Amino acid sequence: MSYFKQLKTKGTDVERAIEEILEGVENAIIHGGNAETLAEELHSAVKGDLIHASRENSYKFGKQVMKDVILGNYYNKVACKLPSKQIVDAIITALREADLESIADKIVDACKKESDISTPTSPSPAQANRKIITGLSKTPHKIPTSTAVGPSDQGNDPVCASHAVGKGVVGILDDCGFDVVKGQEQFINDIVNQVQPTAQAKNPDEFNKEELNVTIKSKTEGKEYDVKVKIDIQTDMRSSPKPCWVDESELKEKKVKMIIRAQLPQGNHALFVKNYKADSYQCINSWAKQPFLTVPKDDVYALDYIQITEM
């Protein structure tokens, strides 16, 4: 079975998305020019496959190229590992980035899930800027303070997402001028108990809208507060961040942290990102024997942007 046919088996909504894309090719809405952008947004390697195919003397862009070169290779590179909804989300995001809004909207309507998948999944600067821990007036405590984000150890349980998300929250609070009282390790344990109590594997986006109680201490005033924060995670199905999210200082200013999902030799893994340089992610890991890990973007199949709001 070809990769394209395997992609079609991923669900009814994926089939609907494919139908709308092929209709867009047939009607010349998708053409050789914007198809390259679409391929790149799906995965950088898919764009490479398209460029390679276009160098053949017999090349002519059309439905067959869309099926075998773009959608088929997208399945092979990324979609084979993803559930139906994430595939449709990624396709819609890629179409919008390629200025193919009309086709993206048709897919949303066809799938009848507009409330879930009608908008791009990476946060805008305006969204990021308003989701910041600000004034606090909670009950003080006297407990030793923690340090900033550091390595952790998930042991043998598949709870890397809790470790990555926990570090994201700790990192944002650190950028806002607060330490997590009781320390990062205890905070991550609390997240595991709340979201992964049976150590079942989860993706970072499954932590979206979770509310967590945490005691924090102001680095400047020394006061401690009990607060509840809500996690906001937005997923972007790509291997490298958009230019506006590459600058570490920009992320810090907007109070946004990045998590990657990578396909490693040990299996799929979620990691907290310290920074992104030279097409690689420098990560703070949750493996005791590899506390820090550099992951090439080609091993990454999704980015999760994490923000928090005080409740």
Cβ atoms of 21 and 98 within 8 Å: the answer is no
Vertex 197: Cα angle to 196 and 198 (nearest 5): 95
> In the chain, where does DSSP find H-type helix?
3-8, 12-26, 32-42, 44-54, 63-65, 72-77, 84-97, 101-111, 114-117, 125-130, 160-175, 184-195, 248-254
Whole-number pLDDT of residue 148: 77
Cβ neighbours of residue 5 closer than 8 Å, sequence gap 6 or more: none
Res 1 pLDDT > 80: yes
Residue entry with tokens 């764009």: 47
Reading the block at residue 17, the tokens are 């998305």
Q: What is the pLDDT of residues 161-193, one digit of tens each?
A: 999 999 999 999 998 889 999 899 999 999 999
Res 144 pLDDT > 50: no
Residue entry with tokens 């999760």: 304
The Cα–Cα gap between 132 and 125 comes to 12
Element (H, E) at 227: strand 224-236
Reading the block at residue 24, the tokens are 């867009």
Residue entry with tokens 């391929």: 39
Query: Quick one: DSSP state of residue 10?
Result: T
The Cα–Cα gap between 229 and 187 comes to 12
Q: What is the pLDDT of residues 22-67, one digit of tens each?
A: 999 999 999 988 999 999 888 888 998 999 999 988 899 999 999 9
Region 256-265: mean pLDDT is 93
Q: Which residues pair with 277 in a beta bridge?
A: 280
Of 212, 153, 136, 217, residue with least CA distance to 182: 217
Helices (H) and strands (E) in the chain, counts: 13, 8
Whole-number pLDDT of residue 62: 93
Average pLDDT, the chain: 85
Region 83-88: mean pLDDT is 87
Res 112 pLDDT > 90: no
Residue entry with tokens 């906001």: 232
Res 140 pLDDT > 60: no
pTM above 0.85, yes or no: no
Residue 226 backbone phi and psi in degrees, to 5: -90, 125
Cβ neighbours of residue 231 closer than 8 Å, sequence gap 6 or more: 165, 169, 207, 208, 209, 210, 211, 212, 306, 307, 308
Cβ atoms of 225 and 139 within 8 Å: the answer is yes
